[in-house]
Amino acid sequence: MRALLLLPVALALLGFIPAQADNAPAKVPVEYIDDDAVMERFTEKLGALAKKGKCLTPEKLRELTAEDKTAELASAKANDKSLSPEDLAAALKASVFVIGSVVEENGEYVGGRMATAWVLAADGILVTNGHVFDEIGDDESFGAANAAGEVFPITGVLARNKAADIAIFRIAAKGLTPLPVSAKPAAVGAWAGVLGHPGDRYYTFTQGHVTRYTKYENEDGEPTKWMAIDADYATGSSGSPVVDRSGSVVGMAALTENIDSADDGTPAKEVLRKRMVKFRKKADEKPKAVPSTLQMVVKLTVPAAEIRKAMGE
């Protein structure tokens, strides 16, 4: 009996039993985000800036985003240390912004579009998808907000690449925390993390891996290059940074593609009809639910190499 009582102590000394509370990690405070409050604050503050004439006019913003152009910008220095997903998610928050618009209706401003942007340089230079600025309305004003809720007007557009879906713009802010842009591509199978605002669920962090690289011709016949990942994102995530374990940007969330089981040429209705038969308990019983034909959602991101080209490299 005495030997059995001593056994746990010996195992603890050898490292097989966790150390006591003295070496336990510090508790990380949990922040509960009120999505409605984020949107209301953004709309109120950006609307106030628009009333004061602080925002670019729709005409000017359309002019600045109409043609492709590059900038001469340098990347921030990369971090040589890998971070845990927990630490990385916390660190990214200072560099990820909400970008969006308000629309004037009868003298008041209401919410418009919402997407994601990230800091490229400390003096107010941010990056997002080019399509965020497509079809700008005549009564639409744009701005960006940080995680603290401060809202800044967009004051200029430095670079645009329509085929690569990139826009680099400036806001009236200083002292920001930039993210470095990776000088080498992430390998297929490499870990990838995303922080963005899918479906107005602000500052959602997901993680996955790089799954492939691919080329497409767009509707104008221009070649485009994409990096696919399996980390989740959705509408509102446009412009979200895709980072490696060191926090370097290896891509930027851009679009999704659905793979449906009807893609083999079988009409979708016929696929559903056949599937519904399996869900019927009796021949004359209607199914309680119609099964989806969706099989997979492919997440396509802008590779870091395309972002660096827009930076003038």
- What's the predicted TM-score (pTM) here? 0.84
Check: CB of residue 286 under 8 Å from CB of residue 240: no
Q: Check whether 18 has a pLDDT greater than 90.
A: no
| Average pLDDT in the chain | 88
Which pLDDT does position 313 carry in this prediction? 87
Nearest Cα to Cα of residue 203 among 82, 302, 118: 118
Q: How many CB atoms lie within 10 A of CB 169?
A: 27
Instruction: Summarize the confidence of residues 281-303 as an average pLDDT.
Output: 76
Tell me if residue 186 falls in helix, strand or coil.
coil
Instruction: Summarize the confidence of residues 66-71 as an average pLDDT.
Output: 97
pLDDT greater at residue 105 or residue 263: 105
The token duo for 156 is: 């200029």
Tell me if residue 99 falls in helix, strand or coil.
strand
Which pLDDT does position 274 carry in this prediction? 58
Backbone angles phi, psi at 47, to 5 degrees: -60, -40
Backbone angles phi, psi at 132, to 5 degrees: -60, -25
Check: CB of residue 261 under 8 Å from CB of residue 291: no
Which CATH code for domain 35-258+297-310? 2.40.10.120
CA angle 31, 235, 211 (to 5 degrees): 95
Band of residue 20 on the pLDDT scale cut at 50, 70, 90: very low
pLDDT in tens, 93-149: 999 999 999 999 988 999 999 999 999 999 999 999 999 999 999 999 999 999 999
Q: How many CB atoms lie within 10 A of CB 15?
A: 8
Check: CB of residue 157 under 8 Å from CB of residue 149: no
Nearest Cα to Cα of residue 168 among 280, 286, 84, 249: 249
Distance CA 276, CA 269 (A): 10
Per domain, the residue ranges of the chain are 35-258+297-310
Band of residue 220 on the pLDDT scale cut at 50, 70, 90: confident
At a CB cut-off of 8 Å and minimum separation 6, what does 25 contact?
Answer: none
Distance CA 101, CA 134 (A): 12
Which pLDDT does position 7 carry in this prediction? 38
User: Amino acid identity, residue 227?
Assistant: M
Q: List the single range of 71-75, 180-184, 283-287 with lowest mean pLDDT.
A: 283-287
pLDDT greater at residue 261 or residue 46: 46
Distance CA 91, CA 107 (A): 39
